[in-house]
Amino acid sequence: MKTIVLVYRWQLQCHFVIIVARFRIFFVRQATIVSIRNLIMSYKSYLESKKTTNTINNGLSLPQTSLLLPFGCICHLLAGTASDPDILTDFIVPQNSTTFDGNFFTFTGLRGIFDGPDPTNFKVTKVSMADFPALNGQSVSYAVLQYPAGGVNPPHTHPRSDELFFVVYGSLKVGFVDTTNKLYAQTLQLGDIFVFPKGLVHYQYNADPKDPAIAISAFGSADVGTVSVPATVFATGIDDAILAKSFKTDVATIQKIKASLATKA
């Protein structure tokens, strides 16, 4: 009897794999809660139609144990939508490319980046898909960040990737704020690595009054996107009265902040 139950359980799981396969294209395209609910309800209806109430030695009914399979499949499908889309080739070649060799996979934009005097303002040199087309479809990108003494990378977010931050010179104060408004701050030294989770507001600051600092960032997307909090709030045309009410201040203060940002730009 036990063997029959186990065989029947295996048959049900095979049937469910077929159901998942039929739903896969629709599910990946929609990736919504409604899609998940429909998938689960379809499977529950299938089990009810079979009226399987046999139990296994561990005391769980056959439908209960079989629900582990759809849960695993759903988690797998959701994980597939968490980063840049996978490509079906080794790499992507630009449409109008006339020559294609090792040069395509080589980026030389960082040569000489440390030659000459240190920058007087915060400077970031990006190695993203826009700068290095070979990254298209590879789900990686890079950035070199240079901070003068007292320099700051203002609060900002990266909507499409987390950030692995590596200090290669000097010391930096860093931090990010999570969705509960809790601040996670740290002072990093040469050789330290810090991670900024995807989409959360974060910053870096060189508190040293004399020496510069340098860091390298790695991203899990070929185009992470950057949303600067000061520029987004004060330099995009939002009405002064709205900002004054939002920050519980007056219009004159808002205008002063806007003028300061415009001068630095």
Same domain, 113 and 212: yes
Same domain, 68 and 29: yes
Same domain, 206 and 252: no
User: Residue 154 maps to which CATH number?
Assistant: 2.60.120.10
Q: Is 163 annotated as a binding residue?
A: yes
Same domain, 18 and 57: yes
Instruction: Answer whether residue 32 is part of any domain.
Output: yes
Q: Which residues neighbour 231 within 8 Å (Cβ) at sequence distance 6 or greater? A: 261
Instruction: Answer whether residue 87 is part of any domain.
Output: no
Q: Is 153 annotated as a binding residue?
A: yes
pLDDT at 42: 60
Q: Is 158 annotated as a binding residue?
A: yes
Write down the pTM of the prediction: 0.67
pLDDT at 239: 96
pLDDT at 142: 95
How many domains is the chain built from? 3
The residue out of 79, 94, 127 marking a domain boundary is 79
pLDDT at 36: 52
pLDDT at 255: 95
Same domain, 37 and 128: no
CA angle, residues 4, 6, 10, in degrees to nearest 5: 115
Same domain, 51 and 129: no
Q: What is the DSSP pairing of strand 213-219 with strand 123-127? A: unpaired
Q: Is 48 annotated as a binding residue?
A: no
Q: What's the number of CA atoms in the CB half-sphere (13 Å) around residue 78?
A: 10
Q: Which residues neighbour 186 within 8 Å (Cβ) at sequence distance 6 or greater? A: 173, 174, 175, 194
Domain around 188: 107-223
Same domain, 25 and 112: no
Same domain, 66 and 168: no
pLDDT tens-digit series, residues 64-112: 445 445 555 554 554 444 468 888 888 988 887 777 889 999 999 999 9
Q: What's the number of CA atoms in the CB half-sphere (13 Å) around residue 244?
A: 11
Low-confidence ranges of the chain (pLDDT < 50): 2-8, 10-12, 14-32, 53-57, 59-65, 67-68, 75, 78-82
Instruction: Answer whether residue 100 is part of any domain.
Output: no
Q: Is 156 annotated as a binding residue?
A: yes
